[in-house]
């Protein structure tokens, strides 16, 4: 339950924010929150992390990305079970990565693509749009790197 419930909370948060964006903003549009730095947009990403494979146009890409997500979540569930009970940092990191992967997997299964809506940029430098699931994955990955560097 220490693995499943927090993942459920992350998935619900991710899906709720995507639902609210889809109901509030027409697709492929958005608005500036902090002009020149941060926009809220409503875009679909058929690719993987950082829009990898987004322009590939291969019908197998959705299945491949879904399969990778399922494999990652299975591996993380196994690693979570092997983590020392007192190592909460690493356990939280695993939950973040798995919760984000499941959040985006739900989109892939339902729509064949992922909804993104957070858009940061500075001048000509533009970060690909992302969502709550992506934030959870990124946060968890950084936490896992820190955990590895600390030797836990």
Q: Is 116 a catalytic residue?
A: yes
Secondary structure element (H or E) that encloses residue 80, with its range: helix 60-82
Q: Can you tell me the distance from the alpha carbon of 79 to that of 58, in angstroms, rounded to the nearest whole number?
A: 32
Q: Can you tell me the distance from the alpha carbon of 114 to that of 128, in angstroms, rounded to the nearest whole number?
A: 13
Q: Is 14 a catalytic residue?
A: no
Q: Is 50 exposed, middle or buried (0-12, 13-18, 19+ CB in 10 A)?
A: exposed
Q: Which of 14, 107, 119, 134 is catalytic?
A: 134
Q: Which of 14, 107, 116, 119 is catalytic?
A: 116
Contact 39, 130 (CB under 8 A): no
The residues carrying an active-site annotation are 116, 134
């Amino acid at each position: 339950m220490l693995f499943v419930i927090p993942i459920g909370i992350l998935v619900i948060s991710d899906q709720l924010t995507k639902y609210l964006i889809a109901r509030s903003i027409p697709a492929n549009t958005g608005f500036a929150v902090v002009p020149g730095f941060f926009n809220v947009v409503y875009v679909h990403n058929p690719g993987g992390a950082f829009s990898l494979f987004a322009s590939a146009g291969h019908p197998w890409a959705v299945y491949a990305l879904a399969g990778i997500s399922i494999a990652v979540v299975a591996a993380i569930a196994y690693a979570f079970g092997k983590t020392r009970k007192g190592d909460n940092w690493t356990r939280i990191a695993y939950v973040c990565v798995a919760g984000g992967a499941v959040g985006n997997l739900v989109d892939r299964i339902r729509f064949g693509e992922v909804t993104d809506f957070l858009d940061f940029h500075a001048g000509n430098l533009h970060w690909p749009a992302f969502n709550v699931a992506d934030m959870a994955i990124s946060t968890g990955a950084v936490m896992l790197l820190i955990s590895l560097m600390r030797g836990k």
